[in-house]
Chain A
Amino acid sequence: MATNPITQDATESTASGPNDFELFVGCTIQNRIPFIEKSARYVFEKLGITLHDNGEFACCPDPVGVQSTSHDTWLTLGARNLALAEESNRNIVSLCNGCSETLKAVNHELKEHPEERKVVQSRLDEIGKTFKGSIEVKHFIELLHEHVGIPAIKSLVIKPLTGLKIAIHPGCHYSRPHELVHTDDPMEPIYPRKILEALGATVLDYQEENMCCGSGVARNNQAAADGMLKRKYASIQDAEADIIAAICPSCYQQLEVGQKNMKKAYGMEVKIPVLYVTELMAIAYGGKMKDLGFQFHQVKPMKLLKEFGFE
């Protein structure tokens, strides 16, 4: 992006063109698995999207944990994050299914329900913030598919993922509830698949593709979560996938940690690296695995990817 170095600071903070977005990294990626953030920044920079950081963002908050504790608190903290982004006049891009669901759903609920909005605003008044309902929230997959577009995503590929067999796990909150998140097909999402196909990968069909990773139920019933994952892994193994692709940090962690649990719970061997869609894009765009932090994965992906010619 050609910017005059002298005015760069000023334009950086106020720019709100079509390719400027407020980056909502989310707690899990930011403070636990930051290599995913690395790949996202790498990819979006290549695609000419400017991501702006906002240090005031707090937890989205989590649509499972916090919303189930108090819907009122969930609405109020979500409204604060939206109000912060509104001050910059930029739409939000989120790297996480949970954050994008929360921010979209809170935006929707407050716009549709004036009574609730009044109550929430009265709390925001106490901290000098205003919810205007003036911006949109996008999941990064949605941004890639709808805003950047498949041809542009394809045009940057210098090392195609040829021969790599991928099982996609879209996760639940990316596309459901549809009336709140408004993207893709709610039951059989296809945008992640189209992006990976544009990178040259072989995207597999497998029985349990759209089943939950179980991270929600694992909070209260580990046995049920293990059972769900067992079904999921078995069907991924049946399809003979080399790797699993994720678009949500909770799912990502559940799908990595779950592999160890399978051994404990069922004596079942599962060893399939899990990669974020942005990580796969980054290596297809020429990124080096070490620079991207692939060594920090729990289920190590580098040996396998080297066999496919990636460095």
Chain B
Amino acid sequence: MENESIPPESPVACLRDDLTTGEMGISLNICYNCSTCSTICPVALETEGKFNPRSIIQLANCGFLERLIIDLEPNVWDCSMCELCQEACPQHVDLHGIFVTVKNAAAEYENIPESYTSETGQVYLFGKAVPLQPAIVKRREKLGLPPSIDTSLNEIQLLMTLSGAKAILDAVEKKKATTEEAI
């Protein structure tokens, strides 16, 4: 499954760097495979262990990164981000940080559920994850609340372009268009 000829700038290679250096590298290395995280995980319970945090930590630690971010086996997007594992881990492994890093790398391969990109897309288009609807304008008025003001959208769009989310949104859009064309 692991490919010998991974280009050095690819998300897999970057992920490998992130996971083997600095605090995250140390964090992964101190996992002693006790499964406390998987025992407390509510999604592991629901999926009968098909998704479980320990297996993601183990695959990351052993370098099976393509399986994690390309095959999505197990599917890191099933994590509910409840942070119970983070608190319960006796070794203080930074499961939260590692999962975010893995998800970000999967997103670079456009392996990200639409529920995530559509929300990030709303932030790009409106500055808010939940844009204002006419009905709510009226409801706010009726409740005597101040009007909901729009933020400086040009600033938000510039920052999202400079920090990477825009490129991901564009790549996902493009992939969607190509898939639809193929159909």
Q: Give A contacts to B, CB under 8 Å.
A: 27-28, 30-32, 34-35, 37-38, 41, 53, 55-59, 61-73, 75-77, 80, 123-124, 126-127, 172-173, 176-178, 186-187, 210-212, 214-217, 219-221, 223-225, 227-228, 293, 296
With a cutoff of 8 Å between Cβ atoms, the chain B residues found around residue A228 in the complex are 42-43, 46, 80
Say yes or no: B128 contacts A31, CB within 8 Å.
yes
Say yes or no: A69 contacts B117, CB within 8 Å.
yes
B70 CB within 8 Å of chain A: no
Tell me the bound Cα distance from A71 to B96 in angstroms: 12
Tell me the bound Cα distance from A124 to B152 in angstroms: 14
Tell me the bound Cα distance from A16 to B96 in angstroms: 35
Tell me the bound Cα distance from A216 to B14 in angstroms: 26
Tell me the bound Cα distance from A77 to B81 in angstroms: 20
- Expressed in whole angstroms, the minimum distance between the Cβ of B102 and any Cβ of chain A is 10
- Expressed in whole angstroms, the minimum distance between the Cβ of B166 and any Cβ of chain A is 8
B82 CB within 8 Å of chain A: yes
Say whether chain B's binding surface is mostly helix, strand, loop, or mixed. Answer: helix
User: Looking at A34, A57, A67, A187, which has the most chain B CB atoms within 10 Å of its CB?
Assistant: A34
B19 CB within 8 Å of chain A: no
B120 CB within 8 Å of chain A: yes
With a cutoff of 8 Å between Cβ atoms, the chain B residues found around residue A41 in the complex are 145
B13 CB within 8 Å of chain A: no
* A–B complex contacts, Cβ < 8 Å, 28 sampled: A30-B130, A37-B145, A41-B145, A58-B123, A59-B128, A61-B129, A68-B112, A71-B104, A72-B165, A73-B120, A76-B162, A80-B156, A123-B159, A123-B162, A126-B162, A172-B84, A178-B87, A186-B87, A215-B80, A217-B80, A220-B115, A221-B77, A223-B46, A224-B43, A224-B78, A225-B80, A228-B42, A228-B46
- Expressed in whole angstroms, the minimum distance between the Cβ of A240 and any Cβ of chain B is 23
B69 CB within 8 Å of chain A: no
Say yes or no: B83 contacts A172, CB within 8 Å.
yes
The chain A residue with its CB closest to the CB of B136 is A31
Say yes or no: B130 contacts A32, CB within 8 Å.
yes
Say yes or no: B151 contacts A77, CB within 8 Å.
no
Say yes or no: B80 contacts A38, CB within 8 Å.
no
Say yes or no: A38 contacts B163, CB within 8 Å.
no
Chain B, range 66-123, C-beta contacts under 8 Å to A: 75, 77-84, 86-88, 96, 100-101, 103-104, 107, 112-113, 115-117, 119-120, 123
B63 CB within 8 Å of chain A: no
With a cutoff of 8 Å between Cβ atoms, the chain B residues found around residue A211 in the complex are 42, 82
Say yes or no: B131 contacts A31, CB within 8 Å.
yes
B8 CB within 8 Å of chain A: no
User: Looking at A65, A67, A176, A210, which has the most chain B CB atoms within 10 Å of its CB?
Assistant: A65
Size class of the contact patch on chain B = 35 or more
User: Looking at B77, B83, B151, B165, which has the most chain A CB atoms within 10 Å of its CB?
Assistant: B83
Tell me the bound Cα distance from A61 to B88 in angstroms: 26
Say yes or no: B77 contacts A220, CB within 8 Å.
yes
User: Looking at A72, A178, A223, which has the most chain B CB atoms within 10 Å of its CB?
Assistant: A72
The chain A residue with its CB closest to the CB of B166 is A73
B144 CB within 8 Å of chain A: yes
Partner of A65, one of B75, B83, B119, B156: B119
Say yes or no: B132 contacts A31, CB within 8 Å.
yes
Say yes or no: A187 contacts B148, CB within 8 Å.
no
With a cutoff of 8 Å between Cβ atoms, the chain A residues found around residue B26 in the complex are none
B174 CB within 8 Å of chain A: no
With a cutoff of 8 Å between Cβ atoms, the chain B residues found around residue A61 in the complex are 120, 123, 129
B62 CB within 8 Å of chain A: no
- Expressed in whole angstroms, the minimum distance between the Cβ of B117 and any Cβ of chain A is 6
With a cutoff of 8 Å between Cβ atoms, the chain B residues found around residue A225 in the complex are 80
With a cutoff of 8 Å between Cβ atoms, the chain A residues found around residue B5 in the complex are none
